[in-house]
Amino acid sequence: MYSINKNDMKKVFGSFLIMLVLLCGCKKKEQPDEPVADSKAVITITVTNVTSNEIQFTTECSDPNVTYYVYGMSKAKYLTESTYSSDSIYGFEKSWFEFISQSSGEQWYKLMLEKCVKGKQSYDFSEFTYLLDPESDYVIYAYGIDEVGERITYVHTCEVTTAEMVPSTNEISVNITQTYVNGVDATFTTTNDDTYFVSLQRKTYVEYFQGEGHTLGEMAIDIMSADMSENGEIALLRGDQTITTDDYRCQRKDTDYYLIYFSYDEQYGRRSEVHLVPFHTAAE
């Protein structure tokens, strides 16, 4: 079993920016329903590199004294979270910082300001979202805030689509040889040493995810993010392998499940379609 090492980043919600000039393929989106911005500062977002599983970009504010917050997430998540408040994504993030301040004992805006920046900054998208999927839409957004955390600019967004998948030539087949109340014995046969990811998920989870309008690729990223260890490692398999309940377990007996697998590596991300193999855990 092999692992991918990622930076041990923690997700935070926040706020940012100033009037944005979006370059290098970003789509600029004004949000006229928001209050008029108090600041005239301009923040430029420049996308410097896009691959199938990474986005790199810079931000730079025309006013070096303006504090701003930068974040990125999938477009689907951005659109969902922006609807939770009348003040768009800023309202959602403000509520989040107010929530975590209850346990930290710190004032919410101080927590938010700790995540803010000034001047010119460089970013890997993985600082905000661990894993990206090929040919998928993501949003970089930003707005400026004052010393008590109140938004002083419009929210400006930069939409970026990751590059096409780089397909693996590894042909993977699987044979489930035995089912148990808590999993399966399954043998994988491969044609080369390209790594791949395996998971066991309830059928109801897969159907719910698809019913929400998400792709199987988005579901795969969701599963991998949940399975990632505290030190940022993802368990991957290489070559012919047999999995058992020692490593992969189901939580419910007498239940429909899917064995899910797809090619994946650190350099290119997901490299094949997501395969679903149905099975039913034993009743006793």
The confidence band for 18, taking pLDDT boundaries of 50, 70 and 90, is very low
Instruction: Answer for the pair 153, 146: CB distance below 8 angstroms, yes or no.
Output: no
Judging by DSSP bridges, how do beta strands 19-23 and 42-50 pair with one another? parallel
Nearest Cα neighbor of 279 from 196, 199, 219, 189 is: 199
Instruction: Answer for the pair 70, 56: CB distance below 8 angstroms, yes or no.
Output: no
The confidence band for 208, taking pLDDT boundaries of 50, 70 and 90, is confident
Nearest Cα neighbor of 79 from 138, 161, 149 is: 138
pLDDT in tens, 61-116: 888 898 999 999 999 889 989 988 888 899 999 999 999 999 988 999 999 999 99
Number of Cβ within a 10 Å radius of residue 13: 21
Number of Cβ within a 10 Å radius of residue 281: 20
Instruction: Answer for the pair 152, 38: CB distance below 8 angstroms, yes or no.
Output: yes
220 burial (CB, 10 Å; 0-12 / 13-18 / 19+) is: buried
Percent of the chain whose pLDDT exceeds 90? 63
pLDDT at position 3: 44
| Residues counted in the chain | 284
Instruction: Answer for the pair 270, 220: CB distance below 8 angstroms, yes or no.
Output: yes
247 pLDDT higher than 80: yes
**DSSP code, position 237:** B
Instruction: Answer for the pair 261, 172: CB distance below 8 angstroms, yes or no.
Output: yes
Query: Rounded mean pLDDT of the chain?
Result: 85
14 pLDDT higher than 60: no
d(CA 283, CA 173): 27
Hey, is 86 helix, strand or coil?
A: coil
d(CA 47, CA 83): 26
Nearest Cα neighbor of 209 from 200, 218, 197 is: 218
pLDDT at position 283: 95
pLDDT at position 73: 92
The pTM (predicted TM-score) of the whole model is 0.81
